[in-house]
Amino acid sequence: MKAEQEPFLQARAVRAGYSGREVLRGIDLEVRRGEVLCVAGPNGSGKSTLLRAVTGLLPLRGGEVRIGGTPLGALSAKERARRCAVQPQVEAPMFDYTVGQFVLLGRHPHRPPLAAATAQDRDAASGAMEETDLAGFGERSIRSLSSGEWQRTLLARALAQEAPLLLLDEPAAHLDPGHRFVVHTLLRSLARKQNRAVLCVSHDLNLAAEFSDRMILMTQGRVQAAGTPEEVLTEPNLREVFRCEALRVAPNPFTGRPGTFFAP
Amino acid sequence: MNALARLCLLAAVSVAVFVAAVCIGPTHLLDLPRWIELLRTGAATPELERASLVFWELRLPRVLLAAAAGANLALGGLLLQAIFRNPLAEPYLLGLSSGGALGAVVALAAGATSVTWPALAGSLALAAIVLLFCRQRIAADLPSLLLVGVALGALAQAFTTAIILRFDPGALRSILFWLMGSFAGRGWTEVWMLLPAALAGGLAIWLLHRPLDLLALGGESAHHLGVRVPLLQTAGIALAAVLAALTVAACGTIGFVGLMAPHLTRKLVGAPHGISVPGSMLVGATLTVGADLAARTLLAGTELPVGVVTGALGCLFFLALVAGKK
């Protein structure tokens, strides 16, 4: 791990919200190349808003975001997309594109306006489809996919973007256990082997504990706890944030990472 | 068959329909051996002169006008469907047709002889009001745009009806024909107004085909992939409004083409905009030229407004679509 370099994504004292409502009230966050950061927290704690704020979808009301050392506002749209890929939450596709066409659109930031796809573009797209277990889906219509397949297609498009920073909003929400494992293993290897910076919003605390290097626990637009999974996933933290006395923490018998259980 | 081959086939069908529309009518123009014979002998017979007049002054401008109008409406529909990520969007939902009608009847009431420019002003003005009203969250919120468009359209229609009631029967008939949409009595002036707009608009939209693909597949992910979403949405809506407003001004309200053509195009050549932009131009043009041909030949001795034919076609089309889904 090369954790000594400057963080690829830096957010300082970020505040943002929607019309009258302030959702993020001063968030600090850093993701370095080579590491996976998981963001957890209850519904409405501002996790998705955080992703929208650090990618420029939502204007900042305060604070600063830097991607690859450059302030977000100073990046052109395409330059931002070359540095940062996002897998959004699932929204149903309205039009009939094939999976192959869809994933290839992930190459947009690398292609001049009217250029045909190069061999490099096609390789990146087919590589991304293999990594997400979608080889052979190239000609399928995106409207014929199951929600799990569609979710992996969205991930494949973000991977085809080949950006150093990867942000994911609940990448495993619709996946079966097998594919959840595949996707999280993939995310970890993207960080380790390709030296990418990965930020993943997740409701699955056990997966987050198992596959992340660091975690952030958010509540009400603030960071409640940050650090290694062991430091963050403690019973006092979880009970306070999720307001649930039945939550218990015990080490995973196979890996020793903290596991979260209900003990009603 | 790949998409490009299907596009070429579509183009061939379109050309065939255009040629048929030029040739068919009270003066048949398809009597080739006879024309060749006439041309060879070189005698400028009255028959030949008449045919040439029909060709240059009636049929050709009419077919070109119908083709350009259809292409404009189809392009507008395709653009708005991508921008709103909704296959039910179409240019008239911005209130264009009722605005155009109001502009036209106000001008007629004031004694004007040509309604083209007042109609253009009326439809653009109403579209601008609708868009300004919803400017906060235009693309995120199609239903509220739709409601504002319907509400303001109804208001414009109320005014239109109030003014029309004061017209004498002759003017009433001509305004009614205009409102229903027709290519009769138009000429090269209208062709020169719509045809360059269709070609330039089509080219502009085609140049944006990849950003449009991204936008059609999700507004937030288009942003994440480097598309300047608000800019593209604003420009696209403005372009669709101008294309449709020009068409309303030149030919009145021709319903359903803006909705039907993009649907058919996606079925015929596929959804990606690199191919569906030229495809929808062809489909829109062919539908409109075909509908106009039907409008002027179905009933002997009289002519239906083309809007009546496209309306009936549109109804059948959607019933078939719904039945197909079940």
**Neighboring chain A residues of B220 at a CB cutoff of 8 Å:** 52, 57, 86, 88
**Is pLDDT above 80 for B193?**
yes
Q: Are the Cβ atoms of B207 and A161 closer than 8 angstroms?
A: no
Assess if residue A80 is contained within a domain: no
| B60-84 vs B257-269: helix crossing angle, rounded to 10 | 80
Determine the residue of chain A that is closest to B85 in CA distance. Answer: A94
Report the domain count for chain A.
2
Identify the CATH number of the domain in which residue B128 sits.
Answer: 1.10.3470.10
Q: Are the Cβ atoms of B217 and A113 closer than 8 angstroms?
A: no
What is the DSSP secondary-structure string of A32-81?
Answer: -TT-EEEEE--TTSSHHHHHHHHTTSS--SEEEEEETTEEGGGS-HHHHH
Quote the pLDDT of residue A87: 94
Q: Does A55 touch chain B (CB under 8 A)?
A: yes
Please give the model's pTM, rounded to 2 decimal places.
0.90
- For residue range A207-234, what is the model confidence (pLDDT) as tens digits? 999 999 999 999 999 999 999 999 999 9
- Percent of chain B exceeding pLDDT 70 equals 96
Q: Does B28 touch chain A (CB under 8 A)?
A: no
Determine the Cα–Cα distance for residues B269 and B2; give it in Å rounded to an integer. 8
Residues A102 and A150 in one domain: yes
Residues A100 and A61 in one domain: no
Residues A168 and A259 in one domain: yes
Torsion angle of alpha carbons B19, B22, B23, B28, nearest 10°? 180
Determine the Cα–Cα distance for residues B262 and A229; give it in Å rounded to an integer. 51
Assess if residue A216 is contained within a domain: yes
Residues A190 and A214 in one domain: yes
Quote the pLDDT of residue B147: 84
> Which structural domain range is residue B108 located in?
3-325
- Percent of chain B exceeding pLDDT 90 equals 40
Q: Are the Cβ atoms of A95 and B217 closer than 8 angstroms?
A: yes
**Neighboring chain B residues of A94 at a CB cutoff of 8 Å:** 85-87, 216-217
Residues A173 and A220 in one domain: yes
**Neighboring chain B residues of A109 at a CB cutoff of 8 Å:** 225-226
Last residue of a domain, one of A163, A182, A205: A163
- Cα distance from B17 to chain A (closest Cα, Å)? 28
Assess if residue A77 is contained within a domain: no
* Angle at B124 (CA atoms; ends B286, B193), nearest 5 degrees: 45
Residues A203 and A217 in one domain: yes
Residues A208 and A264 in one domain: yes
Residues A216 and A97 in one domain: no
Average pLDDT score, chain B: 87
> Which structural domain range is residue A206 located in?
1-68+164-264
Higher-confidence position of B271 and B29 = B271
* Angle at B151 (CA atoms; ends B232, B127), nearest 5 degrees: 35
Report the domain count for chain B.
1
Assess if residue A183 is contained within a domain: yes
- Cα distance from B136 to chain A (closest Cα, Å)? 11
Q: Are the Cβ atoms of A77 and B227 closer than 8 angstroms?
A: yes
Assess if residue A79 is contained within a domain: no
Assess if residue A83 is contained within a domain: no
Quick one: pLDDT band at residue B142, thresholds 50, 70, 90?
low
Residues A201 and A229 in one domain: yes
Chain A contacts in chain B segment 259-298 (CB below 8 A): 266, 270-272
CB-count exposure of residue A151 (10 Å: 0-12, 13-18, 19+): buried
**Neighboring chain A residues of B207 at a CB cutoff of 8 Å:** 113-114
Q: Among candidates A88, A78, A86, A72, which has minimal Cα distance to A109?
A: A78
Last residue of a domain, one of A143, A163, A183: A163
Determine the Cα–Cα distance for residues A216 and A221; give it in Å rounded to an integer. 12
Assess if residue A28 is contained within a domain: yes
Identify the CATH number of the domain in which residue A229 sits.
Answer: 3.40.50.300
* Residue found by looking up tokens 């050309």 in the block: B15
Assess if residue A195 is contained within a domain: yes
When scoring A72, A79, A105, A162 by the number of chain B Cβ atoms within 10 A, the one with the most, hence best to mutate, is A105
Q: According to the per-residue pLDDT averaged within each range, which of B11-20, B42-51, B87-96, B225-234 is highest? A: B11-20
Residues A45 and A172 in one domain: yes
* Residue found by looking up tokens 């968030």 in the block: A27
Q: Does B25 touch chain A (CB under 8 A)?
A: no
Last residue of a domain, one of A146, A163, A180: A163
Higher-confidence position of A65 and B104 = A65
Q: Among candidates A38, A150, A198, A201, which has minimal Cα distance to B218?
A: A150
Residues A48 and A169 in one domain: yes
**Neighboring chain B residues of A97 at a CB cutoff of 8 Å:** 213, 217, 271-272
